[in-house]
Amino acid sequence: MADDRTGLLSGSRPAPPPAPQAAPGITVSSSSADAIYHDSSQTPRSRLVQVLFVALVAVMVVITLSLSIYRSIDVTYNGGMYFMLGVCLLGFVIIEILMIVFTRRGDLPKGKTWFLYFVGVCVLFEALFTDILLFQ
């Protein structure tokens, strides 16, 4: 008996939709039926916003990681704690990346993309608060 979690747990992907059928008298080559086009659920503007958001999160994470490593090298401070803050931030980033991969593979529904943005905002806040803690 299969349930909703079977595809996610077994690693299998949902069955692809059937290929479009051509009208009588028109031949469709297999390359055009199997062609992959851009994501039709996103407009170019929403795709740009998504790319800019991911770039902003990536820049903030790189800055925070470099600052935490810089502060952990200084022996007059508690360096291990600062380094662990950077490692904790990396853990959240890995969770975000896994969620993006699952969404792209089709294991998570596209309608739940708002949750990816929510987790990205949480990563931004953690990076900002870590930067403030590093230099208080």
**Domain range annotation of the chain:** 43-134
pLDDT for 16: 60
Per-residue DSSP letter, 112: G
pLDDT for 67: 87
Grouped pLDDT means (10 residues each) for the chain, 136 residues: 52 59 59 54 82 92 90 74 86 90 84 87 92 83
The tokens 């790319």 sit on which residue? 51
CA 106 to each of CA 24, 99, 115, 133: distance values in angstroms, whole numbers, following the listed order: 33, 11, 15, 38
Structure tokens at 17: 């939709």
| CB within 8 Å of 108: residues ≥ 6 apart | 99, 102
Other CB atoms within 10 A of residue 50 CB: 15
pLDDT for 52: 93
Task: Give the separation between CA 69 and CA 82, rounded to whole angstroms.
Answer: 7
Task: Give the separation between CA 62 and CA 126, rounded to whole angstroms.
Answer: 13
pLDDT for 6: 52
Which phi and psi (to 5°) does residue 121 adopt?
Answer: -65, -40
Burial class of residue 89, CB neighbours in 10 A (0-12, 13-18, 19+): buried
| CB within 8 Å of 53: residues ≥ 6 apart | 117, 120
